[in-house]
Amino acid sequence: MNDMFELKRQLKAAEGNFAEAEKSFAEGDFSRASQFYNHAATNYRKASAVASEDKKDEYLTLSVKCEKKAHETNVNSKIDHNRTEDQKREERKPQRNTPPVKSPEERFGGKRADKGHGGANVSDVRSVVDENARFKPEKASGVTFDDVAGLQDVKDIVRYDVIEPLNNPEFAKIYNIEPGAKVLLYGPPGTGKTFIAKAIAGEVDAAFYSILCSDLISKYVGESGRILQELFNEALKNERAVIFFDEFDAVASKRSDASDGADQEIARFVATFLALVDGAKKSETNKMLLLIAATNRPWAVDPAMLRGGRFDKHVYVGLPDKDARRAIVEKTLKDVPKKDDLDIDKIVDMLDGYGGGDITAICKDAISKAYRRGIQIGNVIEPVVYSDFEKAISCVRNVTSKEDIEKFEKYRKSGRID
């Protein structure tokens, strides 16, 4: 009965989000349209998880179609060839005594920074912030590797390629090693790729630029490359900087042979991106630039992006293993009233198959249930009990299927999924 209710809820949400996406697309608001296509894709995927066997494939197909539509909307923004370059530049120029209307790319710099996440302390002497810049480092979150459960391979890369060369440059110089790296984090959604990137920035005390890749693409010819160049220029003003490219496949997908304006703009963008990645070097002010990309679809990334010297360090960020799940549960429950005989092992086993973010959310929900009981009986301290976790987990749908995990494992071993 609960599954039927959930199915109807997700399908209704999917229809609403898809309609909103189509409306935004018709109005020319491609960024908003892409967001709603993605929301619809998520709804159909959740609907598939609770649907009957004869309907699962149908909803999964709709989910994939919505994801494709979102991707195409992001990167294939229509270019109006009826206007000259001079007209386009004039339209982008702010009118005298009139505040400039911010493009999605301009709004992006402030929007991301306002979230208050990231690994760099913008007041640190190593971080240079131009208030008028399009891209700004995010505020410090204080997250470091101590907050990351497991993922020793990621920590080793950062230690040997970044931290050790910074701490002991003379020894690194003997081996012609300079601090910095280009890392691709890949894995199912919700496994903590963004959190890891922030922890890396916190670990090396670097300015952290978190970039949603689709926002780098402009509908104006040549503008995308200039936006990207501006991002690198701003990052290199800092002594240490990390640029995190989220949803990397949105701009780094395998290139087609199509010759329309949008595809040509993407091709120019990719060429600029590769040139900047290949030429990323220390400047007078910058001693370390670390590039991190994240994707849920590594098989869709252009192989040119993954060659040696580019994003050649590939790290699979999968679902947390038993030790990692235990670490997350114990960290979340630390200093919280709980029953003395609370069976942590049983809870850890129950959470098998869930991503790190979901596990944290389930733990917090269980804590909240104990807190509410305490309020209801007159502010009496109530311990967290096992049944709180049972109730909390019943409200969370695990959208990462066994088929998804097998797909990633196949790619991890062979670099292919077919």
Mean predicted confidence (pLDDT) in 190-216: 85
pLDDT at 402: 82
pLDDT category at 142 given cuts 50, 70, 90 is confident
Pick from 13-22, 65-74, 251-260, 349-358 the range whose average pLDDT is largest: 349-358
What amino acid occupies position 121? N
pLDDT in tens, 183-197: 899 988 878 888 888
- Give the domains, in start order, of the chain with CATH numbers: 2-75 (1.20.58), 105-316 (3.40.50.300), 322-394 (1.10.8.60)
Pick from 84-88, 199-203, 275-279, 380-384 the range whose average pLDDT is largest: 380-384
Mean predicted confidence (pLDDT) in 334-357: 91
More confident residue, 387 or 274: 387
| pLDDT at residue 92 greater than cutoff 70 | no
More confident residue, 278 or 18: 18
Least confident of 249-253, 332-336, 355-359: 249-253
pLDDT at 116: 36
pLDDT at 351: 92
pLDDT in tens, 102-120: 333 343 344 333 333 333 3
| pLDDT at residue 380 greater than cutoff 70 | yes
pLDDT at 386: 94
pLDDT category at 62 given cuts 50, 70, 90 is confident
pLDDT category at 9 given cuts 50, 70, 90 is confident
Pick from 175-179, 223-227, 245-249 the range whose average pLDDT is largest: 245-249
pLDDT at 113: 36
